[in-house]
Structure 1
Amino acid sequence: MKHRIIIIGLLFSSGLLAANEPDDALQQMRADALARIDVNACLDNGGVIKPVCMNAIPACIYKYPDAGKQCSSGSECEGDCLVVGHFVAEGSAAIGQCSVDNDPCGCYQRILDGVAEYAMCTD
């Protein structure tokens, strides 16, 4: 069974960070990201500030109240409905679980209307 996996390098593909850019530019990017976060609002809503993705960019990450609930479409979840365990063939029928939190990075496979979409990895 073949699986199509899409790799998305958000920072690299957007041109925000070149592979050979100096560390001070990455540090500035992290500082800018942290400055855009309303830390009090994040904490008041149960979130935590943590570094995400390969470049450890600070973000407000919060858990969804329905995390782990069985689902067959994202409309049933606060976040996404995801395949759990091994990826399945794109287009196949699937039942999954509601995503745990809003961390945008990692590998996952969404389910929409009971059908598995393509698997993807974001960083």
Structure 2
Amino acid sequence: MRLTLMLSLMLALAGCSSSPNAGDTATNAPAAADNADAARCAAAGGELKPLGRLQRVQCVAPYTDAGKACSAKSECTGQCLAQGETELVAGSKARGVCQTDVSQNFGCRQRIDDGVAQGTICVD
């Protein structure tokens, strides 16, 4: 009885193998997609980079309005962010600058919306 149970368990686990087959076209598809993504990203003036804790590859291209003065997200392609090293008091009136690119979505940042400083958030 135990031997049968052990064999069944071993066969079940063997079916869960993650090693790819050399002729499997599904495993070759991501490389083609990666090349197409890299070409699109380069055409936008950016490059593919791993971002965040998960190191998910994203196109990092400069926003056209990067560095422009702002007081709300609606004025920017990305977020309107506080500038400088000093954290602003949340709820205080403030102006910021439009974020540079998608990479600024990671790390610590303080958004400005409707002319008011928001709380600082940190994203991995």
What is the letter of the counterpart of residue 78 of structure 1? T
Residues paired across the two proteins, number:
92
**Distance between the aligned counterparts of 1:43 and 1:111, measured in 2?**
30
Runs of 4+ aligned residues of structure 1 deviating over 3 Å after TM superposition are none
Q: What are the superposed Cα offsets for residues 24-78 of structure 1, whole Å, 9 maximum, x if unpaired?
A: xxxxxxx8xx85x822211111121112123433211111111111111111111
Matched with 2:58 is 59
**Distance between the aligned counterparts of 2:123 and 2:46, measured in 1?**
21
Summarize the alignment of residues 25-44 of structure 1 with structure 2, pairs less than 5 Å apart.
35=34, 38-44=37-43
Matched with 1:113 is 114
Any gaps of 5 or more consecutive residues in structure 2?
Answer: 1-29
What TM-score, normalized to structure 1? 0.66
Matched with 2:97 is 97
Q: How much has 1:92 moved relative to structure 2?
A: 0.7
**Distance between the aligned counterparts of 2:102 and 2:56, measured in 1?**
14
What is the letter of the counterpart of residue 113 of structure 1? D
Bigger proportion of residues as helix? 2
What TM-score, normalized to structure 2? 0.66
Across the aligned residues of Structure 1 and Structure 2, the Cα RMSD in angstroms comes to 2.3
Any gaps of 5 or more consecutive residues in structure 1?
Answer: 1-30
